[in-house]
Amino acid sequence: MVFLHGYGQSRMGWMTTPDGREGWSDMFLRKGHSVWLIDEPHRGEAGATSVSGDISTKTLDQRWYTQFRIGKWVDGKSEAYEGSQFPNDDESLDQFFRQMTPDTGMTSDMGADYDGEMVAEAVAAAIDEVYERTGKNSILVTHSQGGRAGWLTAKYTDHIASIIAIEPGSGAEAGTEEYNAMLEKGISAAIYFGDYIDNGDPEIQATAAWQGMRQTSYDFAEAYTADGGTAEVIDLPKEGITGNDHFIFQDLNNDVVADHVENWIKENVQ
Per-residue model confidence (pLDDT) at position 46: 82
Q: Which of 88, 35, 24, 70 is nearest to 256 (CA)?
A: 24
Q: How long, in residues, is the chain?
A: 270
Query: Which CA distances in Å does 164 have to 88, 167, 168, 264?
Result: 27, 10, 10, 10
Per-residue model confidence (pLDDT) at position 57: 77
Q: At what angle do helices 205-226 and 177-184 cross, to 10 degrees?
A: 50
Residue 190 near residue 162, CB atoms below 8 Å = yes
Q: Which of 187, 265, 192 is nearest to 233 (CA)?
A: 192
Digit-by-digit pLDDT tens for the chain (270 residues) are 999 999 889 899 999 999 999 999 999 999 999 999 999 887 777 878 888 787 777 777 777 888 999 998 888 888 999 999 999 999 999 999 888 888 878 877 777 778 899 999 999 999 999 999 999 999 999 999 999 999 999 999 999 999 999 999 999 999 999 999 999 999 999 999 999 999 998 988 899 999 999 999 999 999 999 999 999 999 999 999 999 999 999 999 999 999 999 999 999 998
Per-residue model confidence (pLDDT) at position 241: 98
pTM: 0.95
Per-residue model confidence (pLDDT) at position 191: 98
